[in-house]
Amino acid sequence: MIRLDAISKAFGEKLVLDKVSAEIPRGKIFTIIGPSGQGKTTLLRLINLLDTPTRGMIYFDGKSLHEQSQDVTALRRRMGMVFQTPIAFKDTVFANIAVGLRYRGIARDEIEKRVYQKLDEIGLSGYENRKAGTLSGGEMQRVSLARVMVTEPDLLLLDEPTANLDPLSTSKIEELIRYYNRKQGTTVIMSSHDLFQGQRMADMIAVMMGGRFIQTDETVKVFSEPCSADVARFIGIQNVLSGHVTGREDGMMRVDLGGVTVLAMNTLPDDRVIVAIRPEDITLYNEPDGKMSARNVISGTITGIRPYGIISHVMVACGQIVLAVQVTWQAVRDMSLTPGQEVILSFKAPSVHVMPDDESSSGQF
Amino acid sequence: MDNLISAIGTAFNLLSTFDPEVIEITTRTLEITFTSVLICTIVALPLGTLINFSTFRGKKTLISLIQTLYALPTVIVGLVCYMLLSRTGPLGFLGFLFTPSGMIFGQTILVIPIMTGLTIAALQGINPTITDTIRSLGANRLQFLLSHLREARYVIMAAVVIGFSRAISEVGAAIMIGGNIKGHTRVLTTAISLQTSMGNFELSLALGIILLGIALIINIMMGYLQQR
């Protein structure tokens, strides 16, 4: 449906997008996640023909978008974009949703039929004569979505559509996006700095950092197999450590993380590697337990406890490294965990995710 | 103070008795002002839109120049128009000097910069995301311009009111081009000027109150339109 072929965009001296390539299949939700200010908005604007790439090509159903001969208006009418800031025309809710249809010269009774249907879908029936300026941010963003979807676009572009909204409005917008993706088969490209939103919504995720897609994969793969230390940290893995391989046997490798050796299930040929272990994959014991079956058992000292709602992260120093371990708030109390206490950590070899130590990727930011 | 109070009384008296001369002057004032504001709107709206959405060298300078012309002295406009419209002037063939048409001509010159400048300001004040939304929704060139004008309509209405106020209250151009000829080119401001020079302060004030009353009605009407 959409193919990005080495897209670069510079504003003056500043390179905002650096050879971004991807293939977005029809009917899928493709989410670009990454910290703010990394080029996500710029990329969406290029696809919507609101800007022109400095280099590279964007293909929409095989046709190059930014060629001189293309009818820009006709192409734009096959897409729709919802912007980050909820915004409405100084007009009624009805007029706001009808704008795109009026541009397309649709007959008045057809406009009326379609707008009322959209009002119903977004849960704002009866709001048609309200001034759009009096709506809340969440309602206004739903109107923005309806304004685009009423034109039945093949491609829906969403630039951080919930960045300025409360959690309830966010889930309503997400629900609507999924609804339109399923019901109308609309291909969706959305950007988000919220990785959980990416996880909830996307069929495919592209992680964008420093103007590049540093990993483009199926959603589950990005979360289970981050390709670099930066991606691992961005998707919320706290324990990201560098080490070197000291031995290999039967599809396993031993990695020295600085005084502590862990066993990982991996056959990567590199000597220098990055290791990521999720805090929730580590089990914490007060003392050695006979039931421990995991391949990795190490001892350490608690240096601190950070509460996050009903769970806590216990920071444990093992040799020269500190690992975060996720335990419930209840367990912290039951095991009477306190800083300075000696504990045993255990985790399975498959929980240790190994990546090549790409100096350039971690040195970039 | 007494003068002012009795002037208000005189104003009501003149209006309630349908004083023929006052009615005639007021009607002419409205005809001339409405016509010039209409011409200004027809010229300034597209002109301001064109300037705002075009990119060319010296755009900023042009906008500064237009804004400077807000302060154009009415007497200077009157003088220049007089020279242009006089029988030996380049536009003398129009026969506009000492006619209501000439006064409309002068007021138009006076008000066009204000309405053009305020149209540009109104369009510049539109949120860039609105501009993106209009383009993104697939507007063609004409729809793009009309949608922007629609979005800026309240500020543009205010610009029309300001243009109207400037036109109805100016005296310099009206007197120099029109000549304050009784029954022909006399308008409210030139009548006030004449009565003041003759020492009829009360009548002058009464005419001033009528003029302000018209401005008030126009403002209330615009306010109603804006609230709709």
Give the right CATH number for A230-363 from 3.40.50.10860, 3.30.70.20, 2.40.50.100, 3.40.50.1000: 2.40.50.100
Q: What is the pLDDT of residues B77-110, one digit of tens each?
A: 999 999 999 999 999 999 999 999 999 999 999 9
Q: How many other β-carbons are positioned within 10 Å of the β-carbon of residue A126?
A: 9
Of A51, A77, A131, which to mutate for an interface test with B (greatest number of B Cβ within 10 Å)? A77
Average pLDDT on B191-199 reads 93
Give the pLDDT score at B1. 67
Task: Provide the ipTM.
Answer: 0.82
Q: Do B138 and A104 touch (CB under 8 A)?
A: yes
Give the pLDDT score at B3. 76
C-beta of residue B151 within 8 angstroms of C-beta of residue B126: yes
C-alpha distance from residue B105 to each of B3, B35, B99, B138 (Å) = 36, 10, 10, 40
A25/A3 Cα distance (integer angstroms): 9
Q: Is the dihedral of CA B38, B218, B119, B65 positive or negative?
A: positive
Closest Cα in chain A, distance from residue B152 (Å): 9
Start-end of CATH 3.40.50.300 domains in chain A:
2-224
From first to last of the 365 residues of chain A, give the pLDDT tens digit: 899 999 999 999 999 999 999 999 999 999 999 888 889 999 999 999 999 999 999 999 888 888 877 788 999 999 999 999 999 999 999 999 999 999 999 999 999 999 999 999 999 999 999 999 999 999 999 999 999 999 999 999 999 999 888 889 899 999 999 999 999 899 999 999 888 888 899 999 999 998 999 999 999 888 888 888 888 888 888 899 989 899 888 888 999 998 889 999 888 888 899 999 999 999 999 887 767 777 899 999 999 999 888 899 999 999 889 999 999 988 898 888 999 999 999 999 999 999 888 754 443 33
Give the pLDDT score at A293. 74
C-beta of residue B77 within 8 angstroms of C-beta of residue B122: no
Q: Do A103 and B140 touch (CB under 8 A)?
A: yes
For B51-83, give one letter per residue: b (16+ CB within 10 A) or e: bbeeeeeeeeeebeebbebeebebeebbbbbbe
Of A72, A81, A92, A103, which to mutate for an interface test with B (greatest number of B Cβ within 10 Å)? A103
**A19 in helix, strand or coil?**
strand
| Architecture of the domain made up of A2-224 | 3-Layer(aba) Sandwich (3.40)
* A chain contacts of residue B138, beta-carbon cutoff 8 Å: 73, 76-77, 100, 103-104, 151
Query: Which residue in chain B has the smallest CA separation from A85?
Result: B129
Q: Do A103 and B138 touch (CB under 8 A)?
A: yes
A113/A109 Cα distance (integer angstroms): 6
Give the pLDDT score at A361. 43
Q: What is the pLDDT of residues B9-44, one digit of tens each?
A: 888 888 788 888 889 999 999 999 999 999 999 999
Q: Do A103 and B139 touch (CB under 8 A)?
A: yes
In the structure encoding, which two tokens stand for residue A127, read together? Answer: 């709001």
Start-end of CATH 2.40.50.100 domains in chain A:
230-363
- The H-or-E segment that residue A7 falls in is strand A2-11
* A chain contacts of residue B136, beta-carbon cutoff 8 Å: 48, 50, 76, 79-81
Q: Which of B127, B138, B150 sits opposite A87 (nearest CB)?
A: B127
Q: Strand pairing partners for A11? A: A14
Domain ranges of chain B: 2-227
Query: Which residue in chain B has the smallest CA separation from A44?
Result: B136
Report the Cα A346 to chain-centroid distance in Å.
Answer: 30
Average pLDDT on B195-216 reads 91
Domain B2-227 class, CATH top level = mainly alpha
C-beta of residue B52 within 8 angstroms of C-beta of residue B149: no
Give the pLDDT score at A128. 94
